[in-house]
Structure 1
Amino acid sequence: MTHQDRFEAIYDAYYPAVHQYAARRAGSADDTADVISETFLTAWRRIDDVPDGERALLWLYGVARRVLANQLRGASRRAVLADRLRDELAASRPVTPADLEHVRAAFDELPERDREVLALACWERLTSEQIAKVLGCTAIAARTRLHRARKRLAARLGRPAFSTISMGEA
């Protein structure tokens, strides 16, 4: 019996079982077709490794199981990459004049004390120690003022937290 004859015999005998195995576990008809084709492609390439008789079916199930696991890992990686790309695109969204006006209005509503500490941190890029020297207070007091000012600005912007916007050292 040639390799091709042996493969065809295995394919004819076990295709329905492999199809059912894959269909019950795959997420779609396309995934099922991919599992079947990868399983039998592996059998073709490794025809000398395929056991004789009904043990061939168990071998094919093992191959199909690994193909399904690879599909799942691939789908998981694609989902993680898609989420990361979505986050990066959202983060790199161009700032519009309306966005700037919204932030400017919220900033202008703050008390002068909050505006000054935020301006020193954001515009001048000063650390809390440097802000403390400008304001004539301790570094701890400067950090506290900055934290409270950020929270008040976030509240005016309608955001639960303001930690994602960099305004110098906390």
Structure 2
Amino acid sequence: MDAGTELEDHFRRVYAGNVEAILAYAVRRVEQPEDAADVVAEVFLVAWRRSRELPPDDEVRLWLYGVARRVLANHHRGGVRRERLGERLRQRLTAVTGGDPAGEVPERLAVRAALARLPQPDREVLMLTAWEGLQPREVAEVLGVSSAVVRTRLSRARARLRELAGDELTEPGHVLDVMTVPAPEEGR
């Protein structure tokens, strides 16, 4: 039996002998059971990566608990960061949308349906310009084409989008206005 096979066999024994205990440890320390599964997976990934350094069998469970403790600490810190980010994003969405966006839903649906009917290159140029706020030279860099190609596609795509969106959206520029959601200002 070669060294690689021995390491795999040892890891399998460590896993089989300890997975339930580590799972129980994690379940008692997280809010969602799915999170416990992620924690256990991470613990055994660390164990696999460090399989040459695993302590003897009678000490391995304590070592795994230590790894689980650190993984859980990272998980909880990540949860706090995710909550803070989520709250900032919710605040930005509220600031961007202002009030109730329900009144714009039919128009937005019409524009999205028209957008979906455009050829993919035209659609991408429009979305990078209107949604991401990129200038033609920036769009050209993203797409790997010249600025002239982008300007041509953009002009053609705007005209085709207005045509596809129909007559009910009659205000000049309105089709693109409905597509555009202003980017929030960065606050530090």
TM-score bracket, normalised by the shorter chain, equals: 0.5 to 0.7
TM-score, scaled relative to structure 2: 0.48
Listed one character per residue, the Cα deviations across residues 12-50 of structure 1 (whole Å, up to 9, x for unaligned) are 111121111111112111111111111111111100121
Rg larger in structure: 1
Where in structure 1 do 4 or more consecutive aligned residues deviate above 3 Å? Answer: 93-96
The corresponding residue for 1:74 is 78
In structure 2, give the amino acid aligned to 1:68. L
Listed one character per residue, the Cα deviations across residues 48-80 of structure 1 (whole Å, up to 9, x for unaligned) are 121002210111001111111111111111110
CA RMSD of aligned residues (A): 1.7
The corresponding residue for 1:20 is 24
Deviation of 1:95 (Å): 6.9
The corresponding residue for 1:47 is 51
1:48–1:95 CA distance, 2 compared to 1 (3 A) = closer
* Higher RCO structure, 1 or 2 (CA under 8 Å, sep 6+): 2
Percent of aligned pairs with the same amino acid: 45
1:65–1:95 CA distance, 2 compared to 1 (3 A) = closer
Which residue of the other structure, out of 82, 94, 98, is the alignment partner of 1:90? 94
> 2: CA distance between counterparts of 1:12 and 1:95?
55
TM-score, scaled relative to structure 1: 0.52
> 1: CA distance between counterparts of 2:98 and 2:71?
42
> 2: CA distance between counterparts of 1:25 and 1:78?
18
> 1: CA distance between counterparts of 2:10 and 2:99?
65
Which residue of the other structure, out of 16, 35, 39, is the alignment partner of 2:39? 35
1:95–1:31 CA distance, 2 compared to 1 (3 A) = closer
User: How many corresponding residue pairs?
Assistant: 96
In structure 2, give the amino acid aligned to 1:89. L
In structure 1, give the amino acid aligned to 2:75. Q
The corresponding residue for 1:159 is none
Deviation of 1:94 (Å): 3.9
